């Protein structure tokens, strides 16, 4: 009953503001339908175009001004930037990502639970953010010129979409990032550093191993050194220990051949300090460990190659100073470090529905209640940051 009354009211507000061209989706039914339409589209990283086109058409129908921001390459991939009013560079920005990890799992809604790839990460955030913004505008709690929405590609593979978004020249005083945080505010996340190791051997018959050099032995010695170093890497009270994941190891061709090449791909989650310091420490430890393999005049680089494919980043502190939320830290990476802080004292928040523990799994799913609750959560956060921005403004 109350729900019907609210619907009726929001319909009235909708038609009044429809004069200015804004007719938004706002009911719980809209939320589930919008989330369904998003989640039904396969948008594994590098093929986000279809979901991007759908999102643009929906936002345009709702009265948003929408910009398509293409990546620099020929891929045709693009970010979506939308603002409901006249103001393009708003003080508040809400953002999440439209790509997902592979493989695709189809949408299924039963027993008040919604299953499917992206149902949590990150289409639950996208849907809840859009409906929250619409609700606040419809209820005239915020103005159309207060806020803008940024939906990026490529978050799951290193953040090329968010890095490109720096070219949009936005100057938000507050940014609300959406990722699965179980409806809590996140006060920070660990840093991240990738490492690729290539061991260089010399092939020989396994009966005469001294004629060669086993890349597998070089690599395992290096990995053992890395694992020994692990517990001695910087730790902090806030983020715990730095962890090393030996994600992928490969080497050699057959049991009776001394391996000519071997490699490993590794992810390091940094609890304290800078990626530069971490690179130095790791390089030193591994170079020391492979010393015994060096012939006269050789340097460590002749038998082992260390490649850090990206700059990496240290732990990211995030604002969490909003009353009424539980606060915790997470161990996963986000797009936050990829968006440059263009405004002094810029506030950054991280919040969203669903849990990371199912996010990249084959049983990714969210409950109706979690999705609905997040709409209220985003509304609360947006209202809080707008109030703070106004206080800061009136102080000037």
Ligand X SMILES: *[C@@H]1O[C@H](CO)[C@@H](O)[C@H](O)[C@H]1NC(C)=O
Residues that bind Zn ion (CB under 5 A): 121-122, 179
Q: Which of residues 54-73 bind ligand X (CB under 6 A)?
A: 58
CB of 83 to ligand X, least distance (A): 19
Q: Which residue from 17, 30, 258, 382 is in contact with ligand X, where contact means CB under 6 A?
A: 30
Task: Pick one of ligand X, Zn ion, none as the site partner of residue 58 (Cβ within 5 to 8 A by kind).
Answer: ligand X
Query: Among 155, 156, 179, 364, which one carries the catalytic annotation?
Result: 155
Pairing of strands 304-307, 191-200: antiparallel
Least distance between ligand X and beta carbon 54 (Å): 8
Q: How far is the CB of 356 from Zn ion (least distance, A)?
A: 8
Pick left, alpha or beta for residue 392 (phi over 0 → left; psi -120 to 50 → alpha; otherwise beta).
alpha
Tokens 């190891």 — which residue?
249
Q: How far is CA 346 from CA 232, 254, 303, 333, in A?
A: 34, 56, 46, 20
Ordered DSSP codes for 358-384: HHTSTT-EEEHHHHHHHHHHHHHHHHH
Do 171 and 251 form a contact (C-beta atoms < 8 A)? no
With CB under 5 to 8 Å by kind, the binding choice for 346 among Zn ion, ligand X, none is none
> Could you tell me which of 94, 96, 93 has the C-alpha nearest to residue 118?
96
| Catalytic residue list contains 155 | yes
* Residue for token pair 């304290």: 272
Stretch that binds ligand X, among 27-35, 199-207, 273-281, 345-353 (CB under 6 A): 27-35
Counted residue by residue, the chain has a size of 396
Q: Among residues 111, 169, 256, 394, which is the contact residue for ligand X, using CB under 6 A?
A: 111
Please report how close the Cβ of residue 114 comes to ligand X at its closest, in angstroms: 12
Tokens standing for 210? 């001294």
Q: Which does 34 bind (CB under 5 to 8 A by kind): Zn ion, ligand X, none?
A: ligand X
Number of H helices, E strands in the chain: 9, 18
37 binds ligand X (CB under 6 A): yes
Q: Is 25 in the site for ligand X (CB under 6 A)?
A: yes
- Is the CB of 37 or the CB of 361 nearer to ligand X? 37
Q: Which residues bind ligand X (CB under 6 A)?
A: 25, 30, 33-34, 37, 58, 111
Catalytic residues: 155
């Amino acid at each position: 009953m109350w729900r019907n009354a609210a619907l009726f009211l929001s319909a009235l507000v909708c038609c009044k503001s429809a004069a200015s061209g804004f007719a938004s989706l706002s009911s719980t039914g809209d939320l589930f339908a919008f989330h369904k339409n998003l989640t039904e589209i396969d948008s594994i990283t590098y093929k986000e175009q279809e979901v991007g086109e759908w999102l643009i058409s929906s936002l345009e129908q709702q009265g948003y001004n929408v910009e398509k921001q293409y990546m620099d390459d020929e891929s045709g991939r693009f970010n979506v930037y939308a603002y409901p009013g006249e103001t393009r560079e708003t003080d508040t920005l809400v953002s999440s990502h439209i790509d997902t990890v592979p493989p695709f799992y189809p949408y299924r809604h039963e027993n008040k639970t919604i299953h499917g790839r992206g149902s949590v990460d990150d289409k639950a955030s996208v849907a809840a953010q859009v409906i929250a913004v619409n609700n606040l505008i419809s209820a005239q709690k915020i103005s159309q010129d207060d806020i803008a929405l940024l939906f990026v590609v490529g978050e799951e593979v290193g953040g090329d979409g968010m890095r490109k978004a720096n070219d949009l020249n936005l100057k938000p005083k507050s940014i609300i990032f959406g990722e699965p945080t179980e409806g809590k505010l996140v006060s920070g996340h660990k840093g991240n550093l990738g490492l690729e190791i290539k061991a260089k051997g010399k092939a020989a018959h396994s009966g005469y191993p001294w004629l060669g050099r086993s890349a597998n032995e070089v690599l395992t010695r290096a990995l053992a050194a890395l694992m020994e170093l692990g517990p001695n890497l910087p730790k902090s009270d806030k983020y715990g220990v730095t962890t090393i994941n030996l994600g992928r190891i490969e080497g050699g061709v057959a049991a009776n051949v001394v391996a000519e090449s071997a490699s490993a791909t590794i992810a390091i989650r940094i609890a304290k300090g800078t990626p530069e310091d971490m690179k130095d420490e790791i390089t030193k430890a591994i170079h020391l460990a492979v010393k015994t393999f060096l012939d006269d005049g050789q340097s460590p680089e002749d038998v082992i190659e260390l490649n850090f494919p990206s700059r990496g980043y240290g732990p990211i502190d995030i604002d969490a100073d909003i009353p009424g939320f539980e606060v915790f830290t997470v161990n996963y990476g986000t797009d936050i470090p990829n968006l440059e802080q263009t405004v002094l004292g810029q506030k950054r928040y991280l919040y969203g529905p669903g849990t990371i523990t199912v996010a990249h799994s084959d049983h990714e799913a969210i409950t109706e209640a979690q999705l609905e609750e997040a709409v209220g959560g985003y509304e609360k956060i947006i209202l809080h940051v707008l109030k703070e921005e106004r206080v800061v403004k009136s102080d000037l």
